[in-house]
Structure 1
Amino acid sequence: MKSIFRNILALISGLVVGGIVNMGLIMISGFIIPPPEGADITTMEGLQESIHLFQPRHFLMPFLAHSLGTLVGALITAYVADASKTKWALAVGGVFLIGGITNLIALPSPLWFNIVDLVGAYIPMAYLGALLANKIQNKDL
């Protein structure tokens, strides 16, 4: 029974911290790569109306936010989980993937970004997070 609670706590911790990393990067992205002139990025409606103004460079920070949020969340989950660490890390990737699909529906973006984001940012990063957690834990021994 203790193992189940630890694994659920690991999943929740990974999702929360991964979400914080994701949102943190999204929040600072406008300072790193300024939005196009006339784009209102403060609301979903503003983004929907101005997405056509975005150039490929404007999609770099969202991709990094999705990738790094998933990576960090999966790493934490796999590190804390008691058993089936890779499966729990991939669960984080699955939850973030569902969020990515939801975002794609709410905010239509270029097809190339949708493919790169959905294929590269979630499940591969979750698996990498599990591998990194395993490496870190093996060094501790």
Structure 2
Amino acid sequence: MLRTFGAILLGLLAAVAIMMALEYAAMAVIPPPAGLDLQSEEDLARLMASASTGKLLWVLAGWCLASFGGAWTAARLARRHRAVAALAVGVLMVVGVAINVAVLPHPLWTTLAGLALPLPLAWLALRLVERSRPPST
């Protein structure tokens, strides 16, 4: 079980790394407006309110890819409890999205998709790992 716990932690670390990489890539392509304080909730709320559909899709893609990549990592590292590891990452991603949209309002479609997609993507990652690596005994 300790290995499963470690797999979950490393899966979460992978998920965070994926989200950060995509966010930094987005900031490099479309820099935030000058004078924006990324530590200010008010400035971030204004930025989200004016965000284009493309930017919102990028945010959603980040959540989805992070969930898939983190769950894949967790399932790959876990030996016996792959489903627990992968789905735990998916559940924690849903919790993270819920906190994010509670603190920083997003359009309804982004919120609904962000809450609905991480678990199925975690399950898909699990299925891909199971297909490529049979469970160890």
Shorter-chain TM-score: what band? 0.7 to 0.9
Residue matched to 1:134: 130
C-alpha separation between the residues in 2 aligned to 1:119 and 1:104? 13
TM-score normalised by structure 2 residue count: 0.86
Change over 3 Å in CA distance of 1:5–1:36 after alignment to 2: closer
Change over 3 Å in CA distance of 1:102–1:57 after alignment to 2: same
The C-alpha deviation readout for 1:77-133, integer Å capped at 9, x for no partner, is 11111213122200000011101000000100111111111112x101111110111
Residue matched to 2:112: 115
Change over 3 Å in CA distance of 1:108–1:35 after alignment to 2: farther
Residue matched to 2:73: 76
Q: For residue 66 of structure 1, report the CA deviation from its aligned partner.
A: 0.7
> Alignment identity in percent?
25
C-alpha separation between the residues in 2 aligned to 1:37 and 1:47? 11
Matches within 5 A, 1:1-141: 4-32=1-29, 34=30, 40=36, 42-45=38-41, 46-120=43-117, 122-138=118-134
Conserved 8 A contact 2:94-2:114: no
TM-score normalised by structure 1 residue count: 0.84
Q: How many residues are aligned here?
A: 133
C-alpha separation between the residues in 2 aligned to 1:41 and 1:132? 41
C-alpha separation between the residues in 2 aligned to 1:7 and 1:36? 39
The C-alpha deviation readout for 1:6-49, integer Å capped at 9, x for no partner, is 111111111111111111111211234x2676783733422112
Extract unaligned runs of 5+ from structure 1: none
Conserved 8 A contact 1:39-1:47: no
Conserved 8 A contact 2:7-2:75: yes
Once superposed, what is the RMSD of the aligned Cα atoms?
1.9
Change over 3 Å in CA distance of 1:102–1:110 after alignment to 2: same
C-alpha separation between the residues in 1 aligned to 2:74 and 2:110? 27
Extract unaligned runs of 5+ from structure 2: none
C-alpha separation between the residues in 2 aligned to 1:18 and 1:77? 10
